[in-house]
Amino acid sequence: MRLFTCQACDNIVYFESRNCNHCGHRLGFLPKQNAIRALAPEGECWRQAGDTARLYAFCANARKDACNWLVPAGSADALCAACRHNGTIPDLSDETRLQAWREMEDAKHRLIYSLLRWKLPLRTRTEDPEHGLIFHFLADEPERKVMTGHENGVITIALSEADDIERERRRQQMGEPYRTLLGHFRHEVGHHYWDLLVRDRGQLDACRQVFGDDSQDYEAALRRHYKDGPPANWRESYVSAYAASHPWEDFAETWAHYLHIIDTLEMAGNFGMQIAPVADRIGGLRAAIDFDPYEVENFDAVAQAWLPFVLAMNSLSRTIGSRDMYPFVLAPPVIGKLTFIHHLVQREQDRLQPAPVAA
């Protein structure tokens, strides 16, 4: 995630900001430009400050304070590039469910930001009825508990995950060091991109060499995991205990961490952060985040910056009495898996490059 500023006064603003606290301008996000724009009203529409040529409208979900993205004025689709992937949303007449949905939208928009930055395949269910990406936000009912999961591009997120107390209860019950809404979105979309970038791009054999044989019985593997737990030495090969349950889950967990790492390093770089511990006499924990992690070709640069940054981030977190912000250890085999995903993303970007013109 990059650092955004108000176009009118250069005040630093958040990705989710609706208004600039400094100059008061209304703010909206333009996904194609990857920019927050200061807006001036133009009738029922909006224009960028200083630009009279183009008019915009807010996504229809802005009326529920659930989105700050823009669409071209007069667009046939009233929903923005992120919200048009919504399938089922909760009953918004219930204030508790409305607030939970808003929190889910914040997490989902941050996910879509990353997918757009990489120019990954991102089709709606209307555009691709079989494999288009669609989100269902479902609330528990007395006769039905919602399970978060993915199936053929359909991602279901339990609305209860937006409840901090309930999410913490589940985190402790399942022995997880980390559980967030954004983590759920990043994990579940990893299953979707396994379908698109591995299965459908002829990368199954290469993926199996790194993550293992995904043809093993998935349901049986999960039952075994929940009954017996992960192998005692899982930390030597997996990013999390759950990743050890099945190669599909290993891929999805690693994909989620890849997004964690890339997005966090982009923000750190935008703040000009460098890691140079005074106590580091040999320089092994120094890092300058002076590159765009979304564009870097060699994943080694990402890994070399991430490990010192995690040490600094977790040390600061402990200083204020909080748990580690990133409570994971990336063993060499996990770095190899992250590198594989990095190459998958790069390969997809290469497919979008125009073919060279013959002389």
Q: What are 173-206's pLDDT values in tens digits?
A: 999 999 999 999 999 999 999 999 999 999 999 9
Domain boundary among 81, 105, 134: 81
Q: Is 92 within a domain? A: yes
At residue 358 the predicted structure's pLDDT band, cuts being 50, 70 and 90, is: low
Q: What is the pLDDT of residue 354?
A: 58
Q: What is the domain range of residue 218?
A: 201-354
Domain total of the chain: 3
210 and 287 share one domain = yes
Does 168 score more than 90 pLDDT? yes
Tell me the C-alpha distance between 249 and 147, whole Å: 16
Q: Is 186 within a domain? A: no
**pLDDT tens for each residue of 217-231:** 999 999 999 999 999
**pLDDT tens for each residue of 142-167:** 888 899 999 999 999 999 999 999 99
93 and 73 share one domain = no
Tell me the CA distances in angstroms from 268 to 25, 115, 120, 207, 307, one per residue in order: 26, 19, 23, 30, 13
145 and 103 share one domain = yes
Contact 345, 118 (CB under 8 A): yes
Q: What is the pLDDT of residue 359?
A: 47
Q: Is 189 within a domain? A: no
More confident residue, 213 or 54: 213
299 and 343 share one domain = yes
More confident residue, 67 or 276: 67
Q: Is 188 within a domain? A: no
Q: What is the pLDDT of residue 356?
A: 53
Q: What is the pLDDT of residue 352?
A: 72
Nearest to 162 by CA among 233, 84, 66, 228: 66
295 and 255 share one domain = yes
Tell me what the pLDDT averaged over the chain comes to. Answer: 93
76 and 156 share one domain = no
> What global pTM score does this model have?
0.94
